[in-house]
Amino acid sequence: MNKYFRLTCTAVAFSVAAAASAVAAPSSSVKNVVLVHGAFADGSGWMAVAKILEKDGYKVSIAQPPETSLEDDVAATTRTIDAMGGPVVLVGHSYGGIIITAAGNDEHVKSLVYVAAFQPDTGESLGSLSAGKPPASSGPKPSADGFLYLDLASFHADFCADLPKPVADFMAISQVGLSVKSAGASATTPAWKTKPSFAIVATNDHAINPDLERMMYKRSHATVTEIASSHVVYISHPSEVAAMIERAAQ
In contact, 93 and 52? CB cutoff 8 Å: no
Please tell me what DSSP assigns to residue 207: S
Looking at residue 2, what is its pLDDT?
A: 42
pLDDT tens string 108-129: 999 999 999 999 999 999 999 9
pLDDT of 139 higher than 90: no
Q: Write the DSSP string, 107-167.
A: TTEEEEEEEEE----TT--HHHHHHHS--SS---EE-TTSEEE--TTTHHHHH-TTS-HHH
Looking at residue 29, what is its pLDDT?
A: 80
Report how far residue 25's alpha carbon sits from residue 108's, in angstroms, rounded to the nearest whole number. Answer: 25
Q: How many residues does the chain have?
A: 250
pLDDT of 171 higher than 60: yes
What phi and psi values does residue 14 have, to the nearest 5 degrees?
-65, -40
From the list 107, 102, 97, the residue with the least C-alpha distance to 198 is 97
Looking at residue 4, what is its pLDDT?
A: 35
pLDDT tens string 176-231: 999 999 999 999 999 999 999 999 999 999 999 999 999 999 999 999 999 999 99
Domains recognised in the chain with CATH numbers: 28-249 (3.40.50.1820)
pLDDT of 8 higher than 70: no
pLDDT tens string 16-74: 333 333 333 335 589 999 999 999 999 999 999 999 999 999 999 999 999 999 999 99
Mean pLDDT of 75-94: 98
Looking at residue 27, what is its pLDDT?
A: 53
